[in-house]
Amino acid sequence: MLHLPKPFILASGSPRRAQLLRQVGLSYQITVAEVDEEYNGREPIAFAKELSYKKARAVALSTDYAILLAADTIVVLENRILGKPRDAAEAATMLADLSGKRHEVITGYTIYDRPSDYAVTDYELTQVWFRDLDRDEIDAYIASGSPFDKAGGYGIQDDFGAVFIKRIEGCYYNVVGLPLAKVYNDLKTYIQHPKIDNE
């Protein structure tokens, strides 16, 4: 089990990320970052990494002594970024567009230390193939309310969205919202950096 030398802050309100950290025995506080998530036209990987850094930095300014983790997950379909659907019509359009196609799920994440302001930013990419979806399935899924807090309008975990997916290539947990093994290993390396006060 990983022992962090400082209080650990998750700069995210995602219940899925919180559950994944609990799964590997990490204790944390939650402080939700308030940043502008409007797509700025950057290449998707760069955009996801930039957002994660902005979230980490925003929360870091409110604490003097901690290690922070922030992340941002985006869905990319044919060079188009799909965010969280704003309403049922947008959710239906997203799911119909994803039907029968391959897309990418990218999570940018930043680990940030206070007070040194030392930070590491990285990403993970997973390819996901959807099976062909029936309109009735899409409508029922939207009626459940599940799509509205998820990039791309679906969740791979613990709801009906799981049966939309034919196969994936890459990290499953990345599609959930956090590339768990990569983040865990990066935290292990990170806390050994000379700038981090481990006393």
Residues 112, 83 contacting (CB under 8 angstroms): no
Give the C-alpha separation, 11 to 13, whole Å.
Answer: 7
72 is a catalytic site residue: yes
Give the C-alpha separation, 83 to 105, whole Å.
Answer: 11
Catalytic-labelled residue, pool 36, 64, 72, 134: 72
pTM above 0.95, yes or no: no
Give the C-alpha separation, 178 to 183, whole Å.
Answer: 8
Residues 38-89: pLDDT tens digits? 776 789 999 999 999 999 999 999 999 999 999 999 999 998 999 889 999 9
Residue 167 amino acid letter: R
Residues 14, 55 contacting (CB under 8 angstroms): no
Give the C-alpha separation, 16 to 199, whole Å.
Answer: 31
Q: How confident is the model at residue 194 (pLDDT cuts 50, 70, 90)?
A: confident
Q: Which domains does the chain have, with CATH numbers?
A: 8-190 (3.90.950.10)
